[in-house]
Amino acid sequence: MSVTTKSPTWTNWAGTKNCQPEVIVHATSVDQVSEVVADATRRGVTVGPVGSGHSSAPLVPVNDVLLDVSGLSGISAIDVEARRVTVRAGTTIAALGEPLWNAGLALSKQGAIDSPTIAGAISTSTHGSGLALP
């Protein structure tokens, strides 16, 4: 885990959202995430999670702790029979393409941009193309 404390600035991919939190924590394990959240809870400060920073909504900017989960990436499990894949929060949509294809699977809907993280895409209700759009 690395921590940026000297006047850190975070900006989203489009340069439309930014913040200067007290610290930016770059977590690489679930234990580190737990530690950061527990510490923030004890101190009564806000934790803002961020992955690839592709959301244009003001979801990330915080003044306290910015928790970068992009270091928590990779596929934990692929269950072909159940058609289910388990991934870590910082895994990007792009990182899923080839492993899913090799397993005979694919995402049922995918947007035009493949660099967002799976956790970000799910938490912001990212939509993609498909036979029936909502």
CA distance 30 to 132: 36
Q: For Cα atoms 40, 45, 48, give the angle at the middle one, nearest 5 degrees.
A: 80
- DSSP letter (8 states) at residue 7: S
Q: Where are the domains of the chain?
A: 2-68, 75-123
CA distance 28 to 23: 16
Fold of domain 2-68: 3.30.43
What pLDDT, on the 0 to 100 scale, is given for residue 55? 75
What pLDDT, on the 0 to 100 scale, is given for residue 128? 60
In this structure, the number of other CB atoms found within 10 A of the CB of residue 65 comes to 21
**What distances in angstroms separate CA 112 from CA 33, 36, 46, 116, 128, one per listed residue?**
30, 33, 32, 10, 7
What pLDDT, on the 0 to 100 scale, is given for residue 70? 92
What pLDDT, on the 0 to 100 scale, is given for residue 58? 74
What does each of the 134 residues of the chain score in pLDDT, given as a tens digit? 667 666 688 888 888 888 899 999 999 999 999 999 999 999 999 999 998 888 777 777 788 999 999 999 999 999 999 999 999 999 999 999 999 999 999 988 777 788 989 888 888 777 665 555 55
